[in-house]
Amino acid sequence: MISLQKPSNFTPIFEVVSCFIEKKGKFVLLHRLDDAREGTTWGVPAGKIKEKETLEEGMLREIKEETGLTLKEPNLKYFKKIYEKYPNYDFVYHIFQAKLTGQEGIKLNPEEHKNYKWVTPKNALKINLIEDEDVCIKLFYKI
């Protein structure tokens, strides 16, 4: 469950960064591997922050690892910090945005994802998304 305010009894065990990478009115969704947690669902590039890594460093690393895109820190805009409370654990979730302007191409890491697609926010909500991704899309795009 997502909260915009820190819930009571919230004990996060890690922090996650995620990014809406946009181009021409669409953003990229990545298709998770079948054997991954919530396999076969779709989500934006995201991952856990490593020790001594800033949010921005972690986000740039995850984008590179998952999409092959090499972005620079000025390309990232921080959007919001939210709180995720799952039945077995809690974590902090940070949302970023990056806009692509050139001919950058996605080069998936086959050990992370099996496919990708560019979607509009409304069409994304019709796809089998990772847990709470729909809430993040609605929050970010105000739909």
CA dihedral 56, 66, 33, 96 (to 10 degrees): 30
Which backbone phi and psi does 138 adopt, to 5 degrees?
-65, -40
Domain locations in the chain as residue ranges:
2-141
3 state DSSP class of 126: coil
User: Residue 115: what pLDDT?
Assistant: 97
Indicate if the pLDDT at residue 116 is higher than 90: yes
State pLDDT tens for residues 4-18. Answer: 999 999 999 999 999
Indicate if the pLDDT at residue 136 is higher than 90: yes
State pLDDT tens for residues 36-46. Answer: 888 899 999 99
CATH of 2-141, one of 2.30.130.30, 3.30.590.10, 3.90.79.10, 3.40.50.1470: 3.90.79.10
User: Residue 62: what pLDDT?
Assistant: 97
Helical H segments across the chain, by residue range: 55-67, 121-124, 133-141
Indicate if the pLDDT at residue 48 is higher than 90: yes
State pLDDT tens for residues 59-82. Answer: 999 999 999 999 988 889 999 999
